[in-house]
Structure 1
Amino acid sequence: MRRIDHFNGITTFVITAQLGSFTAAAERLGLTKSAVSKNVGRLEDRLGVKLFQRSTRSLSLTPDGEAFLTNCQSAIDILERAESALTSHIAHPSGRLRIDLPAAFGRQRILPALLNIAREYPELSLTVSFSERFVDLIDEGIDLAIRIGELSDSSGLVARKLTTQKLVICAAPKYLYLNNEPETPEELSQHRCIVGFRRNQPVSWLLKETNSRVKRYTPPATYEFADGEAMLEAVLAGCGFAQLPLWMVGEYLESGELREVLQEYSGIEIPISALWPQNRQLLPKIRYVVDTLVEMAESGLLD
């Protein structure tokens, strides 16, 4: 029983170190903050060292804690690989899958597939987060992430391209009725524009040039939204122009609720990829979900 207690303490320590707080670790583990703190305290007493520097505002690892965390993570990786090797013959996913999704695309395209899988395989548990910020999969204990855009740094990760999203510039007919339709991107400076907002910066639009090169253009940001669905609502309300993915606005273009403009400058395609830590690439739960998403992409269900 004591060995089991020791392992419980190690798991609590690793999760706390990864998330940087007892409160966040408690939410992840389904425990109270007090229970998490006591588990870590008992582990420190057993080891005879302090693993964390505690203050009223922050929690940080001591040098001993950093060294212990590295060794614990290596041990956990070995155990996960052993579990994967033992269960690699299992055809269905099980266990808890922690997945991070881009907000609008994740809700509209990925989440329904995950829920179908979860209904079909009740042994699979899901922890799903939606974010537009950069998430460090390894540090935050994420098993799988879906990312939109070029992957600037994927060291320690495995990436699988699923599909691409095509970007178009559009506006509502009621806005175009009151304003002249622009013929060049430069004319957008005379219009109201709805722009994405990430990491305290406006998101540049991607435009095609005559030589097929891609140009970044930041229009005047009359409205800034950190959420794609909010941008869509603003465009539909006639607030101005926006550059949005075709999978989001396609039905509105077909119905006439939106109209595409500057088509000769549009059509840039951005990759959509699945990423997971290298040490977890053989886990059945990850492999099954990625294989399902690949099949959906090949069938055009993610477009």
Structure 2
Amino acid sequence: MTSNKLFDGIVIFTQVVKSGGFSAAAESMGHSSSYVSKEINKLEARLGVRLLNRTTRSIGLTPEGEAYYQQCQQLMVDAEQAVELITQHDVDPKGRLKISSPIGFANSYLQPILSEYMQRYPNVSLELDLNDRRVDVVAEGYDLAIRAALQLEESSLICRKIFSCKGYTVASKAYISRHGRPHHPQELSRHHCLCYSNHKTPGRWQYKDSEGDPIQVDVRQKVLSNNAEIQLALTLSGHGICRLPKFYMTDALASGQLEILFPALPAPEIDVYVVYPSRKHLSPKVRAFIDLVVEKIPPTVLAEDASEK
């Protein structure tokens, strides 16, 4: 028997037994009596045994039918429990939630959100991958990932924008003291630049002038790294100039450890997204986390950034 035929007729068979006849089963399932009878005949033919003894007034299970019915009942219970497990939206989230997030975003925003999520939903366990690497959400089994990008690449993933922040080109006072302050992006070709290797063109930095026209410069790559935390640390130590989203540098900018270069030029806007495999049948644990992130991320991020422009 082929596997795609294995469960054919089971639902109708169990309903016939529960209802005590073809007509009652047909009425409860919205079928005709003849359809139900034909499906039972096909099931018996496929199994090679008679399951039901029929008279004009009643039906009865054969010994083989009794044994088969007991197993079918268990299958139906198991199937209903499986459906209930993954489709209930009115129960507390449960299971393991696997998340990928950039380190800087996690440090700036996720810590209190994760703490509250665990308090609200104690039946969920978390698996966190805090890494700037662009993970394959589906192939690596992530429930969701957080991504920051100037422009999110096309994919089959569902994305939900959390907020936008500014990206700044920055240097430390020590670096500026030793190497001078560049006043235009084209001057970066003569400076030490710390580049982010996860970008498609890490050594080509894009800007816009005050009229909105593009400026493109091929910078001198002093350090190429896939980790923004390392870039920030080396920049703070005076080893070069880097470009990062504001959420990586909030404290360093507030304390004056870093200076924003080219303040007269429009700062690029970096969008932060939650991405996940599918909107359809979204599990309660994922839905609850996304809702909490949207609830807790400060709505003033854009306004604060705009005031600094």
Read off the aligned partner of 2:276 and give its amino acid letter. Answer: W
Task: Within 5 Å, give how 1:74-223 maps onto structure 2.
Answer: 83-85=85-87, 87-90=88-91, 92-149=92-149, 150-155=151-156, 157-198=157-198, 202=202, 204-223=204-223
Q: What is the percent sequence identity of the aligned residues? A: 29
For 2:225 and 2:242, locate their aligned partners in 1 and report how far apart those are by CA, in whole Å.
11
Quote the offset at 1:80 in angstroms: 7.7
User: Counterpart of 2:221 in 1: which secondary structure?
Assistant: coil
For 1:80 and 1:135, locate their aligned partners in 2 and report how far apart those are by CA, in whole Å.
29
- In structure 2, the partner of 1:262 is 262
- In structure 2, the partner of 1:72 is none
**What TM-score do the two structures reach when normalised by structure 2?**
0.64
- In structure 2, the partner of 1:293 is 293
Partner deviation per Cα, 1:99-141 (whole Å, 9 max, x = no partner)? 1112322343224412331244221111111333332222222
Task: Within 5 Å, give how 1:214-233 maps onto structure 2.
Answer: 214-233=214-233
Give structure 1 stretches of 5+ with no counterpart.
1-77
- In structure 2, the partner of 1:247 is 247
For 1:250 and 1:165, locate their aligned partners in 2 and report how far apart those are by CA, in whole Å.
11
Residue pair 2:186, 2:217 contacting (<8 A) in 1 also: no
User: Counterpart of 2:197 in 1: which secondary structure?
Assistant: strand
Quote the offset at 1:264 in angstroms: 2.4
Read off the aligned partner of 2:153 and give its amino acid letter. Answer: S
Give structure 2 stretches of 5+ with no counterpart.
1-79, 305-309
For 1:136 and 1:172, locate their aligned partners in 2 and report how far apart those are by CA, in whole Å.
35
User: Counterpart of 1:198 in 2: which secondary structure?
Assistant: coil
For 1:111 and 1:195, locate their aligned partners in 2 and report how far apart those are by CA, in whole Å.
27
Quote the offset at 1:184 in angstroms: 0.9
Residue pair 1:208, 1:264 contacting (<8 A) in 2 also: no
**Structure 1 residues 195, 80: CA separation in 2 closer, same or farther (over 3 Å shift)?**
farther
- In structure 2, the partner of 1:28 is none
Residue pair 1:169, 1:241 contacting (<8 A) in 2 also: yes
User: Counterpart of 1:251 in 2: which secondary structure?
Assistant: helix
Read off the aligned partner of 2:265 and give its amino acid letter. Answer: Y
For 1:160 and 1:81, locate their aligned partners in 2 and report how far apart those are by CA, in whole Å.
27
Select the structure of larger CA radius of gyration.
Answer: 2
Residue pair 1:207, 1:216 contacting (<8 A) in 2 also: yes
Quote the offset at 1:209 in angstroms: 2.7
**Structure 1 residues 290, 177: CA separation in 2 closer, same or farther (over 3 Å shift)?**
same
For 1:295 and 1:100, locate their aligned partners in 2 and report how far apart those are by CA, in whole Å.
19
**Structure 1 residues 211, 290: CA separation in 2 closer, same or farther (over 3 Å shift)?**
same
Residue pair 2:170, 2:243 contacting (<8 A) in 1 also: yes
For 1:216 and 1:82, locate their aligned partners in 2 and report how far apart those are by CA, in whole Å.
55
User: Counterpart of 1:264 in 2: which secondary structure?
Assistant: coil
- In structure 2, the partner of 1:12 is none
User: Counterpart of 2:297 in 1: which secondary structure?
Assistant: helix
Residue pair 1:84, 1:282 contacting (<8 A) in 2 also: no
User: CA RMSD for the aligned pairs?
Assistant: 2.8
Quote the offset at 1:81 in angstroms: 6.7
Read off the aligned partner of 1:89 and give its amino acid letter. Answer: D
**Structure 1 residues 166, 255: CA separation in 2 closer, same or farther (over 3 Å shift)?**
same
**Structure 1 residues 126, 236: CA separation in 2 closer, same or farther (over 3 Å shift)?**
same
**What TM-score do the two structures reach when normalised by structure 1?**
0.65
Partner deviation per Cα, 1:129-186 (whole Å, 9 max, x = no partner)? 133333222222211111111222231x221100113111111111112232111111
Read off the aligned partner of 1:158 and give its amino acid letter. Answer: I
Quote the offset at 1:294 in angstroms: 0.7
For 2:113 and 2:212, locate their aligned partners in 1 and report how far apart those are by CA, in whole Å.
35
Residue pair 2:170, 2:260 contacting (<8 A) in 1 also: yes
For 2:82 and 2:258, locate their aligned partners in 1 and report how far apart those are by CA, in whole Å.
49
